[in-house]
Amino acid sequence: MKKVIKNGTIVTASDTYQADVLIENEKIAGIGSAATFGHVDDTIDATGCFVFPGGVDPHTHLDMPFGGTVTKDNFETGTIGAAFGGTTTIVDFCLTEKGKPLKKAIQTWHDKSAGKAAIDYSFHLMIGEMTEDVLKELPSVISNEGITSFKVFMAYKNVFQADDATLFETLIKAKELGALVMVHAENGDVIDYLTKQALAKGQTDPIYHALTRPVEAEGEATGRACQLTALAGSQLYVVHVTCAEAVKQIEEARKQGADIWGETCPQYLVLDEEALRKADFEGAKYVWSPPLRPKEHQDTLWNALKTGGLQTIGSDQCSFDFDSQKSLGKDDFTKIPNGGPIIEDRMSIVYSEGVEKGRISLNQFVDITSTRAAKLFGMYPKKGSISVGADADLVLFDPSVERTLSVTSHHLAVDYNAFEGMQVKGVPRTVLSRGQVIIHNGSYVGLPGDGVFIKRARYGNTLSNDRVEL
């Protein structure tokens, strides 16, 4: 089965050019003039569209338990939403429990995703402790499971938070095994103290979520993680960076030659702390950890994306219904489940606010929403690339369409849109996952369950047609 995408403008992380793309079965089989491709079974016209490699979202939480409830969007609704937004690969966080085998946690995540995912996916593995049992299991996590990134939480005291010894040992072990360590960098002990103080004063509204998680707590934890990484001679990826204090730490460490990468998310680029003050408990819709920051941090984040101080955009998709789930924290902000719905709007917001407003170039857009994450997480050039042999994960993006983001038009299960009313330019008109059209002109035409699990290469290695075991 041969398909051709004709008349589009191909945009990669490095180049922009006119060419047609030949797809044979699941792969890109040629790039050039359709006239040279011979007989094809199907032609897709991309006139007026950019042809991007499918988005790679390195940070999602689907079907994840949190604060006594479970995210509203699961692997089916979440990945369909992702596909509508032009994302064709996600890496979700597999939570682990202390004292329980890692293998069991991984199996739980396979059970949640297999047969449901509409796009390809992989997992990062949470490390909450570094025991003899964990140490014994890690080599197999890398070489058999194909999971080559570990996540350590420096916050959420008494829930997910790991101590510095665990972080340091994880960094050392990751270096030895070829994994990338990811951190949620906030000082959980300081936040715990400030939270208790606020509650004792009767400060229970959503805004106190932000006020008890100051930028200093993020800056300090980010700096600590960077220092420990340099000491271990390891590699680090800081998730959801929100503020100038954290950016400064990452930039400084990189200047010193440390192997450190930083991600931010659309919400921190376009929303600010004032949203948490909305009346009638509406502020709860904007409760993320780390929290939204005062507006002045947005310029720092955009500048860091432009100049390379931050390198990726994850969604941190973690949705909870406003009516039945966020409401758990009506009388106590600490009980509001953290997170929001972004997986679908991630690329449109970054295109519209970034490229259209001249903050980043078109090629940078592809790099930060797709290619860089594919490289860092061992999936390139299979994912994140338009090249012969790569998976035919492609987005035909029409930049001329103007639309309004809304709960009434999004495709997630959750009952609100954090970007309600926001005007964006551009829409993914057609989306292909491994050569199959899954989104076309506003309809999902794929099959849930067609997404497959990607076993990833070790940190710094490439992944081509078949997994490379090095």
Ligand X SMILES: NC(=O)NCCC(=O)O
Contact footprint for ligand X (CB under 6 A): 61, 184, 240, 288-289, 316, 318, 338-339
* Contacts to Zn ion by CB under 5 A: 184, 316
CB-CB contact of 412 with 344 (8 Å): yes
Contacts (Cβ under 8 Å, ≥6 apart) of 193: none
CB of 23 to ligand X, least distance (A): 35
The residue number with the shortest CB distance to Zn ion is: 184
CB of 469 to Zn ion, least distance (A): 29
CB of 462 to ligand X, least distance (A): 28
Q: Which is nearer to ligand X, 235 or 289 (CB)?
A: 289
Q: Which is nearer to ligand X, 87 or 338 (CB)?
A: 338
CB of 213 to ligand X, least distance (A): 10
- List phi, psi (to 5°) of 437: -70, 125
CB of 240 to ligand X, least distance (A): 6
CB-CB contact of 402 with 445 (8 Å): no
Q: Quick one: what does residue 338 bind among Zn ion, ligand X, none, with the CB cut-off 5 to 8 Å set by partner type? A: ligand X
- Please name the residue that has the structure tokens 């964990």: 134
Q: Which is nearer to ligand X, 309 or 339 (CB)?
A: 339
> Strands 16-18 and 42-45, how do they pair?
unpaired
CB of 26 to Zn ion, least distance (A): 30
Q: Which is nearer to Zn ion, 23 or 342 (CB)?
A: 342
Q: 452 in helix, strand or coil?
A: coil
CB-CB contact of 133 with 101 (8 Å): yes
Amino acid at 47: T
Q: Which is nearer to ligand X, 30 or 219 (CB)?
A: 219
- List phi, psi (to 5°) of 461: -105, 165
- Please name the residue that has the structure tokens 């499918």: 54
Q: Which tokens belong to 391?
A: 């998976």
C-alpha count within 13 angstroms, C-beta hemisphere, residue 30: 17
Q: Quick one: what does residue 288 bind among ligand X, Zn ion, none, with the CB cut-off 5 to 8 Å set by partner type? A: ligand X
Q: Which is nearer to ligand X, 61 or 326 (CB)?
A: 61
CB of 92 to Zn ion, least distance (A): 10
Q: Quick one: what does residue 419 bind among ligand X, Zn ion, none, with the CB cut-off 5 to 8 Å set by partner type? A: none
- Kindly compute the dihedral angle of the four CA atoms of residues 440, 441, 443, 448, in this order, to the nearest 10 degrees: 20
Q: Which is nearer to ligand X, 9 or 242 (CB)?
A: 242
- If we measure between CA atoms, which residue out of 220, 218, 278 comes closest to residue 243? 218
